[in-house]
Amino acid sequence: METTRLGDVMREIFLVQSAPEQWIIIAAGVLALLVVLARGPWRVARNVVTIVHEGGHALVALFCGRQLSGIRLHSDTSGVTVTRGRPDGVGMVLTVLAGYVAPSIVGLLGILMLAGDRITALLWISILLLLAMLLLIRNIYGVLSVVGTGLVIFGVSWFTPADVQAAFAYFFTWFLLVAGVRPVFELQAQRRSMPTPQSDADQLDRLTGVPGTAWVLLFGLINVAALGTGVWLLMF
């Protein structure tokens, strides 16, 4: 962006931008897939998935009338969102359910914005959500993770030309859609090798009486459906 006045900035943010060429959209999707599949890049990029995962817990908790105590993000890419309120019931179930489906749902919402050619708006909404989440972070690594992600998005949206913004926005959206699927497999593998009663699936088991494996399957079905819908919207 070259303008600095507030009014000009707002117009730039909500300006309709042309979609990039189809090969750029496809290349962004392939790159996102490679990041998710490659061990090294995934180890770093998974921090973004954790941010969205915990953000999903927090947002749904607020909608359900629960009080947020804080969010912690850890260097092993795990995280925890602490809420206060009734320990059972629909609100608690929805709060726990939201985490593993949040990246895919956010990715799908991002595609709807890209379909309307609101590329810069998508990037700035992401920044605003990260700023809101930053207020809830309760540990240093979490602060660094959220701030670092926000700075990358801000740098792209402020200092790069429209075609670079578009390529990045499509990559970021593709990444959330594809990356939403892998943690579900990781969750089930962890439940088999090192069971823990604190996993989202096992918490839902205790809350509802429905086996944890069934919840893992539901996570997977929702995320695969979101990915399939996203592919259809972007490619056809």
Predicted pLDDT of residue 99: 98
Residue reference for tokens 């709060």: 95
Q: For residue 232, give both structure tokens.
A: 């259809």
- The mean per-residue pLDDT over the stretch 84-107 comes to 97
Facing residues of 80 across strands?
72
State residue 5's pLDDT score: 62
Q: Which residues of 57-74 are buried (b: 16+ CB within 10 A; e: fewer)?
A: bbbbbeebebebeebbbe
Query: How confident is residue 88, by pLDDT bands cut at 50, 70 and 90?
Result: very high
What pLDDT was estimated at residue 180? Answer: 97
pLDDT tens-digit profile of 158-184?
999 989 999 999 999 999 999 999 999
Q: Is the pLDDT of residue 14 over 80?
A: no
Mean pLDDT calculated for residue range 122-151: 97
Neighbours of 185 (CB within 10 A): 12
31-85 per-position pLDDT tens digit:
999 999 999 999 999 999 999 999 999 999 999 999 999 999 999 999 999 999 9
Residue 197: per-residue pLDDT: 85
Q: Are 145 and 73 in contact (CB under 8 A)?
A: yes
The pLDDT value given to residue 205: 97
Position 12 scores a pLDDT of: 62
Helices 200-208, 182-193: crossing angle, 10 deg rounding: 70
Whole-prediction pTM value?
A: 0.93
Mean pLDDT for 133-138 is 96
Residue 78 in 3-state DSSP? Answer: coil
pLDDT of residue 3: 47
Would you kindly state where each structural domain of the chain is located, as residue ranges? Answer: 15-235
Distances (CA, A) of 155 to 7, 56, 124, 164: 20, 25, 11, 11
